[in-house]
């Protein structure tokens, strides 16, 4: 291997999946303050939200991994939209005569009568 091609601080680091506590030891330059002891050796620790050990594509499981509340926010927006639709639908629609009168006030020309 060529000397001095790796950056400073390139060392073994443990990445830990926060979903299932699976750990991976690899080399990295990532900066971290946490450490973990594995097999009697102290390593820098980096916690990740998802890895190949918990990702649905790799595990074949279908589940929702929501760390930041995105699913809850989406469901809340959907519920608010449904409530707004119901409110608009419950409002009494204007009759055809009222719509024509309002259109004439605004200067719109009446629509031609449908021929049968």
* CA 13 remoteness from chain centre: 28
- Report the chain's C-alpha Rg in angstroms: 31
Per residue, the 3-state secondary structure of 40-54, as one string, reads CEEEEEEEECCCCCC
Q: CA–CA separation, 92 vs 18, rounded Å?
A: 52
Residue 78 has pLDDT above 90, yes or no: yes
Q: Using an 8 Å Cβ cutoff, are 52 and 41 in contact? A: no
Q: Percent of the chain having pLDDT more than 90?
A: 12
Q: Are 1 and 11 in contact (CB under 8 A)?
A: no
C-alpha 85/C-alpha 109 separation (Å) is 31
Between 27 and 69, the more confident residue is: 27
Give me the pLDDT at residue 82, please.
92
Q: d(Cα 13, Cα 46) in Å, to the nearest integer? A: 7
pLDDT-based confidence at 21, cuts 50/70/90?
confident
Domain ranges of the chain: 11-92
Alpha helices in 1-116 (DSSP H): 56-59, 70-90, 96-105
Q: What is the pLDDT of residues 27-66, one digit of tens each?
A: 998 888 988 988 898 999 988 877 767 766 556 666 666 6
Considering 45-49, 67-71, 82-86, the range whose residues carry the highest mean pLDDT is 82-86
Q: Which residue has the higher pLDDT, 92 or 7?
A: 7
Q: What is the pLDDT of residue 74?
A: 87
């Amino acid at each position: 291997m060529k000397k001095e091609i790796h950056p400073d601080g390139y060392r073994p680091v443990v990445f830990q999946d926060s979903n299932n506590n699976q750990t991976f030891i690899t080399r990295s330059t990532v900066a971290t303050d946490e450490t973990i002891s594995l097999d009697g050796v102290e390593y820098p620790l980096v916690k990740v939200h998802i890895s190949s050990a918990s990702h649905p594509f790799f595990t074949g499981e279908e589940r929702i991994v929501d760390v930041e509340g995105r699913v809850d926010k989406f469901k809340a927006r959907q519920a608010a939209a449904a409530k707004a639709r119901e409110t608009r639908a419950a409002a009494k629609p204007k009759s055809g005569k009222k719509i024509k009168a309002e259109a004439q006030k605004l200067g719109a020309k009446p629509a031609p009568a449908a021929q049968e």
